Amino acid sequence: MSTLDSPERGAATLAGPAPRILVIAAPYYRDVVDGMRHGAERVLADVAATIETVEVAGAYELPGALAMALASPRRWDGFLLLGCVVKGETDHYTFICDAICHGVMDLSTKHAAAIGFGLLTVDSLAQAEARSRDDRMNKGAEAAHAVLTQIGIARGWGIAG
Protein backbone atom coordinates (compact mmCIF):
# COMPACT_ATOMS: atom_id res chain seq x y z
CA MET A 1 0.00 0.00 0.00
CA SER A 2 1.43 3.38 -0.96
CA THR A 3 1.05 6.42 1.27
CA LEU A 4 -1.73 7.60 -1.03
CA ASP A 5 -3.89 4.50 -0.59
CA SER A 6 -6.63 4.19 1.98
CA PRO A 7 -7.00 0.91 3.83
CA GLU A 8 -9.31 -1.67 2.34
CA ARG A 9 -12.29 -1.95 4.68
CA GLY A 10 -14.86 -4.70 4.81
CA ALA A 11 -18.51 -4.28 5.64
CA ALA A 12 -19.20 -2.22 8.73
CA THR A 13 -20.32 -4.02 11.86
CA LEU A 14 -21.72 -2.82 15.16
CA ALA A 15 -23.12 -4.83 18.06
CA GLY A 16 -26.49 -3.83 19.46
CA PRO A 17 -29.38 -1.96 17.95
CA ALA A 18 -29.15 -0.10 14.68
CA PRO A 19 -27.54 3.27 15.37
CA ARG A 20 -29.21 6.63 14.94
CA ILE A 21 -26.86 8.95 13.05
CA LEU A 22 -27.19 12.67 12.47
CA VAL A 23 -25.33 13.80 9.35
CA ILE A 24 -24.42 17.47 9.43
CA ALA A 25 -23.38 18.50 5.94
CA ALA A 26 -21.93 21.75 4.62
CA PRO A 27 -22.66 21.47 0.89
CA TYR A 28 -20.81 24.56 -0.32
CA TYR A 29 -19.06 22.18 -2.72
CA ARG A 30 -22.24 20.22 -3.41
CA ASP A 31 -20.84 17.51 -5.68
CA VAL A 32 -17.95 16.77 -3.32
CA VAL A 33 -20.09 16.64 -0.18
CA ASP A 34 -22.80 14.59 -1.91
CA GLY A 35 -20.14 12.11 -3.01
CA MET A 36 -18.89 11.80 0.56
CA ARG A 37 -22.45 11.47 1.83
CA HIS A 38 -23.15 8.64 -0.61
CA GLY A 39 -19.98 6.86 0.52
CA ALA A 40 -21.06 7.23 4.14
CA GLU A 41 -24.60 6.03 3.42
CA ARG A 42 -23.26 2.81 1.88
CA VAL A 43 -21.26 2.09 5.05
CA LEU A 44 -24.15 3.00 7.36
CA ALA A 45 -26.50 0.75 5.38
CA ASP A 46 -24.36 -2.22 6.47
CA VAL A 47 -25.58 -1.68 10.04
CA ALA A 48 -29.13 -0.58 9.10
CA ALA A 49 -28.50 2.86 10.59
CA THR A 50 -31.27 5.41 10.78
CA ILE A 51 -29.90 8.55 9.16
CA GLU A 52 -31.14 12.09 9.60
CA THR A 53 -29.46 14.86 7.63
CA VAL A 54 -29.27 18.59 8.19
CA GLU A 55 -27.42 21.05 5.97
CA VAL A 56 -25.59 24.14 7.20
CA ALA A 57 -24.48 27.17 5.22
CA GLY A 58 -20.78 26.36 5.22
CA ALA A 59 -18.08 24.36 6.93
CA TYR A 60 -17.57 27.05 9.58
CA GLU A 61 -21.09 26.30 10.84
CA LEU A 62 -20.41 22.58 11.44
CA PRO A 63 -19.35 22.94 15.11
CA GLY A 64 -22.28 25.26 15.86
CA ALA A 65 -24.80 22.82 14.42
CA LEU A 66 -23.14 19.98 16.34
CA ALA A 67 -23.44 22.00 19.56
CA MET A 68 -27.15 22.57 18.88
CA ALA A 69 -27.67 18.87 18.20
CA LEU A 70 -25.89 17.92 21.43
CA ALA A 71 -28.11 20.38 23.35
CA SER A 72 -31.27 19.09 21.69
CA PRO A 73 -33.68 16.81 23.54
CA ARG A 74 -33.44 14.50 20.50
CA ARG A 75 -30.80 11.85 20.84
CA TRP A 76 -28.50 10.33 18.27
CA ASP A 77 -25.89 7.63 18.81
CA GLY A 78 -23.38 9.43 16.65
CA PHE A 79 -22.73 12.39 14.43
CA LEU A 80 -21.20 12.48 10.97
CA LEU A 81 -19.84 15.85 9.84
CA LEU A 82 -19.18 16.37 6.14
CA GLY A 83 -17.71 19.40 4.44
CA CYS A 84 -14.90 20.74 2.31
CA VAL A 85 -12.62 23.76 2.51
CA VAL A 86 -10.42 24.52 -0.49
CA LYS A 87 -7.33 26.63 0.09
CA GLY A 88 -7.39 30.04 -1.48
CA GLU A 89 -4.88 32.86 -1.71
CA THR A 90 -5.35 34.25 1.81
CA ASP A 91 -4.95 33.06 5.41
CA HIS A 92 -8.73 32.67 5.66
CA TYR A 93 -8.38 28.93 4.93
CA THR A 94 -6.07 28.36 7.89
CA PHE A 95 -8.27 30.25 10.34
CA ILE A 96 -11.44 28.52 9.18
CA CYS A 97 -9.93 25.03 9.25
CA ASP A 98 -8.37 25.57 12.69
CA ALA A 99 -11.64 26.91 14.12
CA ILE A 100 -13.68 24.02 12.76
CA CYS A 101 -11.27 21.34 13.94
CA HIS A 102 -10.89 22.82 17.42
CA GLY A 103 -14.62 23.40 17.74
CA VAL A 104 -15.50 19.83 16.83
CA MET A 105 -12.78 18.32 19.02
CA ASP A 106 -13.83 20.45 22.01
CA LEU A 107 -17.45 19.31 21.65
CA SER A 108 -16.47 15.70 21.11
CA THR A 109 -14.43 15.52 24.28
CA LYS A 110 -16.75 17.67 26.40
CA HIS A 111 -19.80 15.57 25.54
CA ALA A 112 -18.12 12.18 24.94
CA ALA A 113 -19.80 12.28 21.54
CA ALA A 114 -19.19 9.70 18.83
CA ILE A 115 -18.17 11.70 15.78
CA GLY A 116 -17.06 10.84 12.29
CA PHE A 117 -15.20 13.89 11.03
CA GLY A 118 -15.36 14.13 7.26
CA LEU A 119 -13.98 17.59 6.62
CA LEU A 120 -11.78 17.79 3.55
CA THR A 121 -9.09 20.47 3.83
CA VAL A 122 -7.49 20.51 0.41
CA ASP A 123 -5.36 22.63 -1.89
CA SER A 124 -7.60 22.17 -4.92
CA LEU A 125 -11.04 21.09 -5.97
CA ALA A 126 -9.42 18.19 -7.87
CA GLN A 127 -8.05 16.86 -4.56
CA ALA A 128 -11.53 17.09 -3.02
CA GLU A 129 -13.11 15.31 -5.97
CA ALA A 130 -10.56 12.49 -5.68
CA ARG A 131 -11.58 12.02 -2.02
CA SER A 132 -15.31 11.95 -2.72
CA ARG A 133 -15.43 9.42 -5.56
CA ASP A 134 -17.16 6.07 -5.30
CA ASP A 135 -14.01 4.15 -4.37
CA ARG A 136 -11.94 3.26 -1.31
CA MET A 137 -10.51 6.79 -1.12
CA ASN A 138 -13.97 8.17 -0.21
CA LYS A 139 -13.52 10.15 3.00
CA GLY A 140 -17.24 10.09 3.78
CA ALA A 141 -17.05 6.30 3.98
CA GLU A 142 -13.98 6.56 6.21
CA ALA A 143 -15.78 9.00 8.50
CA ALA A 144 -18.76 6.63 8.68
CA HIS A 145 -16.46 3.78 9.73
CA ALA A 146 -14.95 6.10 12.35
CA VAL A 147 -18.30 7.06 13.88
CA LEU A 148 -19.39 3.42 14.03
CA THR A 149 -16.15 2.51 15.78
CA GLN A 150 -16.70 5.32 18.30
CA ILE A 151 -20.29 4.21 18.91
CA GLY A 152 -19.05 0.67 19.51
CA ILE A 153 -16.52 1.91 22.06
CA ALA A 154 -19.13 4.03 23.84
CA ARG A 155 -21.58 1.13 23.95
CA GLY A 156 -18.88 -1.15 25.29
CA TRP A 157 -18.25 1.28 28.12
CA GLY A 158 -21.96 1.77 28.79
CA ILE A 159 -22.09 5.45 27.85
CA ALA A 160 -24.16 5.35 24.67
CA GLY A 161 -27.21 3.69 23.09
86 is in an annotated binding site: yes
Q: Is the dihedral of CA 33, 55, 60, 42 positive or negative?
A: negative
| Residue from 38, 92, 102, 145 carrying the catalytic annotation | 92
99 labelled binding-site residue: no
- Measure the CA–CA gap between 15 and 17, rounded to whole angstroms: 7
Task: Answer yes or no: is 131 a known binding residue.
Answer: yes
* Among 80, 2, 66, CA closest to 36: 80
Known binding residue 93? Answer is no
CA–CA separation, 16 and 47 (whole Å): 10
Q: Is 92 a catalytic residue?
A: yes
Is there a binding annotation on residue 61? yes
Cα–Cα dist 157/128, whole Å: 36
Q: Is 52 annotated as a binding residue?
A: no
Q: Are strands 78-86 and 20-25 parallel, antiparallel or unpaired?
A: parallel
65 phi, psi to nearest 5 deg: -65, -40
Say whether 40 counts as a known binding-site residue. no
DSSP 113: -
Annotated binding-site members: 28, 59-61, 84-86, 89-90, 117, 131
Active site amino acids? 92
Annotated binding-site members for (2S)-2-hydroxy-3-oxobutyl phosphate: 89-90, 131
Annotated binding-site members for 5-amino-6-(D-ribitylamino)uracil: 28, 59-61, 84-86, 117
